[in-house]
Structure 1
Amino acid sequence: MYKAQIERWKKAVEEKGKYPTYKLLADLIEQDIETGKLQPQDKIPPMRDLAEIVGINYSTASRAYAEARKRGLIESITGAGTFAKGKVPAIKPSLAPYELTMNMVIEPAIPTLVDEIKDVAISTISQGSLYKMLRYQEHGGSTLTKELVKQHLLRKADHISLSQLVISQGVHQILSALVTQLCDEQQVICVDSLTYPGIKSIAAQLGKRLHALERDHDGPLVSSFEDACKTHQVAALYLNPTMHNPTCTSISRSRREALVDVALRYSINIIEDDVYEPLAENPAPSFAQLAPELTYYVSSLSKCFGPGVRFGFVACPTRRAAEHTNGALRSLNVMSVPIMEMIVSNWLREGTVDRMIQSIRREANARQQIIYDQLHGIALNMEENAFHFWLKFPKTVSWHPTELAIELRSKGISSVASVAFATDNHPPHAMRVCFGGPFNRSDVTEQMQRLKETLFEPPHLNQTRY
């Protein structure tokens, strides 16, 4: 079954010249994946068959497969063989609506807080200069807004100057600008093998390549990142280090320091997407603190106030980098929204954002206690103050994650299957469940009861729904 494939490789080896054979074979595997000749889960020829047909020694074949593994192209399974991992899959458009609605921030039902949010917004519009708010504004945000953002929202990048700070319309546009600015056609962006789907859709839209890093419970493996730096032209490392979306874990200080060491040695930019950091009580030092000369620190109000605000910011490593980022953002959205920028500035100045964050934390932890009670005995990751968790399927569950996610959504439970987050074509038997949004504690109790009942329910009982 491998004959045609190996014959092509044999011909290329015969014509290679002085180029190392083991590197050429790894290149050929990569080319076959890129062109679709090798699909995810396709079996790769055994090393002995490869060595015999191509006419190379076994150690060269072994070295070639080791090189391909370093590049994240293949994986070996004891007793089964070696298989292609395939290209990083782009998020499917059909999944986008779920991603946009599933991880909604908690909306505390506190009348005095709701009134305060309204009053500050109305006061900003009624007392401000209307036409000033309707005109073209300073690109990258006003000095006043930057000062307030630095004072209230940059506790993990407070070393930066205002000239390094750029205001924009949310994280998604900032990430689009950074990917456009930092990555050329020959380069790749390293990402966790489970990552925020937005970076997948941005890369697909812009024609940029992502390189999946192997992970453990503490995030991307340092060895996998260094292997990528040795074998690829790496433009940047993208990370969501605090309350990671989707696994709801945070990268430890020691792992952060080890990843930074590699980034510094290879001069790799770091894009730190830290939107959940405002909710964390005692987060580890940020990558921006550990490697200020390399890190673009990105955050917003989406997970600590409300995604509809469309207000985000990036702290760049240098003033020059901020100018380039501002230029890229200007081409994408011209400027931040003046009225919203002024409202946010007043919410920050009046302490409204701080009170909202505290309310979200309290409500999240109250809901978490309900979830632990209802899902007792089921393995899940959920950090303090978070409003989503990562559900690992028990061995007795026979559902496919995608089918179960669809079933749960039909019952009003915010769930997304692991495939939406996977970047290595090997999604685990797991899913993300969100308990934010407008729900109250009674709703959460009912949802978790339904989730547990459905989880252990035979899938065939629901076949008529698909």
Structure 2
Amino acid sequence: MTKPTAHWRKRLASQDRPAYLAIADLIAEDLRDGRLAARDRLPTLRELADELQLNYTTVARAYAEARKRGLIDSRAGFGTYVRGKAPALPLRGGSGAEMTMNLPPEPHDEALLARMHDSAADLMAHSDLHALLRYQDFGGTAEDREAGARWLQRRLPQASADRLLVCPGIHSVLTALISQLARPGELLCVDALAYPGLKAIGTQLGVQLHALPLDDDGPDVEAFEHACRTLSPKAVYCNPTLLNPTTATMSRARREALADVALRFSVPIIEDDAYGMLPTERLPPPLAVLAPDLTYYVTGFSKCLGAGLRSAYVLAPHARLAQRLAGALRATTVMASPLTNALVTRWVNDGTADAVLEAIRTACRERHALALQHLGPWGVVAHPECFHLWLPLQGAWSVVECASYLRTQGVAVVASAAFSTDGNPPDAVRICLGGPASLDDCDRALRLVAETLDHPLHPHATVM
């Protein structure tokens, strides 16, 4: 009798449960006690039936039950091996490693946290609290807009407060902009893989999304020009830096070509630069520099300070267009929170925002190194200062099955279909590295993803 199953026959003799259930229980028990480990091979059905003196059907039912519990896998040509069960990974306020919502890692720096606390406390101690609790004109105070202009000038040297609005998050800006630029039934050009929230906005507003094919440099300019000639799009939306989900950054040449087409056909550009402050290398100029009279430049703090900091900036082409957009935003959001605006302005002015941003970059680099260590052999696409990565899938896994299985293991990823605007998603998933609360949690989650790819489980298996 083989070593992994040497004691099973004796234990089965003393069991009252049906043998097929008892065998699955024994596999789970041996995993728990260390007699079996992930990747251990088990006897074939015929071998185990002979060893335990059971009929073939009973053993087949036992292995089927073990697969159902997510304990083993059986594949033609590979035999039967132990899959094991992964421990749940802690989530910020949940029960698994949250790798779906794209949020930045939280730096575990006591000095930085103390600085953030002290700055916020000083703000509250010296502010006119009643003023912060009243309704205000949309777009932020003069001080808020001036701070926003200084923040943007690192990417847009000509940014000015008269063209800038302070808004309650990037998503609200996109909703207002699209509702202003396109009516129901009209067309918005977008990347073939785009921010899922954009798809929800399009559905809500009845605006059609026209997908532009993507390559390594960005959206296909010939496809954009053809759409401009034949479909009369009302705007083009792009996420040119660290594209969500693929992490690609649009090349300078592609930006110039896209801007040229937009200028020739007078098509407004919505430039969602949510990740634009993360990379430290010199980036190509924003589209707002190349086509300033057409581009609405949008960025915010949810990706470079914290997801709960719902404060964003939109820089309009002209002051008149900024005021027109303020009306659309006021109709949908009333105003951004004055308390939140005041905190962001304080942190921009006193350097806290820069300190947090640098700490997030450092945390991203640490997690990126882990991602390459565990997923490099699988062709993962990642940027060292980006907290999401793009993982192509090959072999037996379907994308949905892989994402669903990883969720049962406590690791949540997003299948490519969530980002697809052309109905033809690639075989890939996006993984957010910022979700796991600690570097150790991130390491365990990435290790689990790698082991899953190395030993794909039966697609319909679940974990007890």
Q: TM-score, normalised by structure 1?
A: 0.76
Q: Which amino acid aligns with 2:270?
A: I
1:252 aligns with 2:251: yes
Residue 4 of structure 1 corresponds to none
Determine the C-alpha separation between the residues in 1 that align with 2:424 and 2:455.
25
Residue 234 of structure 1 corresponds to 233
Aligned pair partner of 2:415 in 409, 417, 431: 417
Structure 1 residues 331-340 or 375-384, which shifts more?
375-384
Residue 212 of structure 1 corresponds to 211
Residue 268 of structure 1 corresponds to 267
Q: Is the 8 A contact 1:413 1:433 kept in 2?
A: no
Determine the C-alpha separation between the residues in 2 that align with 1:256 and 1:376.
29
Determine the C-alpha separation between the residues in 1 that align with 2:462 and 2:128.
59
SS of the equivalent of 1:308 reads coil
Determine the C-alpha separation between the residues in 2 that align with 1:438 and 1:360.
14
Give runs of aligned pairs for residues 352-431 of structure 1, distance below 5 A. Answer: 352-394=352-394, 397-431=395-429
Determine the C-alpha separation between the residues in 2 that align with 1:169 and 1:118.
22
Determine the C-alpha separation between the residues in 1 that align with 2:99 and 2:296.
24
1:298 aligns with 2:261: no
SS of the equivalent of 1:189 reads strand
Determine the C-alpha separation between the residues in 1 that align with 2:417 and 2:459.
23
Shift of 1:454: 0.9
Which digits, 9 at most, give the CA deviation of each residue in 1:101-137, with x for residues without a partner? 5211110000111111122112212221111111111
1:141 aligns with 2:101: no
Structure 1 residues 135-144 or 233-242, which shifts more?
135-144
Residue 345 of structure 1 corresponds to 345
Give runs of aligned pairs for residues 146-225 of structure 1, distance below 5 A. Answer: 146-225=145-224
Q: Which amino acid aligns with 1:164?
A: R
Determine the C-alpha separation between the residues in 2 that align with 1:413 and 1:100.
7
Taking a change above 3 Å as real, the CA distance of residues 221 and 459 of structure 1, as seen in their structure-2 partners, is same
Q: Is the 8 A contact 1:103 1:414 kept in 2?
A: no
Where relative contact order (Cα < 8 A, 6+ residues apart) is larger, the structure is: 2
1:127 aligns with 2:126: yes
Structure 1: tracts of 5 or more residues without a match:
1-97
Which protein is richer in helix relative to its size? 1
Equivalent pairs counted in the alignment come to 367
Determine the C-alpha separation between the residues in 1 that align with 2:361 and 2:241.
15
Q: Which amino acid aligns with 1:446?
A: R
Shift of 1:171: 0.3
Structure 1 residues 444-453 or 155-164, which shifts more?
155-164
Determine the C-alpha separation between the residues in 2 that align with 1:237 and 1:458.
40
Taking a change above 3 Å as real, the CA distance of residues 100 and 456 of structure 1, as seen in their structure-2 partners, is closer
Residue 320 of structure 1 corresponds to 320
Which digits, 9 at most, give the CA deviation of each residue in 1:18-51, with x for residues without a partner? xxxxxxxxxxxxxxxxxxxxxxxxxxxxxxxxxx
Q: Which amino acid aligns with 1:345?
A: T
* Greater than 6 Å deviation, 4+ residue runs: none
Residue 71 of structure 1 corresponds to none
Shift of 1:384: 2.6
Q: Is the 8 A contact 2:99 2:433 kept in 1?
A: no
Determine the C-alpha separation between the residues in 2 that align with 1:376 and 1:165.
41
Structure 2: tracts of 5 or more residues without a match:
1-96
Which digits, 9 at most, give the CA deviation of each residue in 1:437-456, with x for residues without a partner? 35222222211111011123
Residue 279 of structure 2 corresponds to 280
Residue 460 of structure 1 corresponds to 458
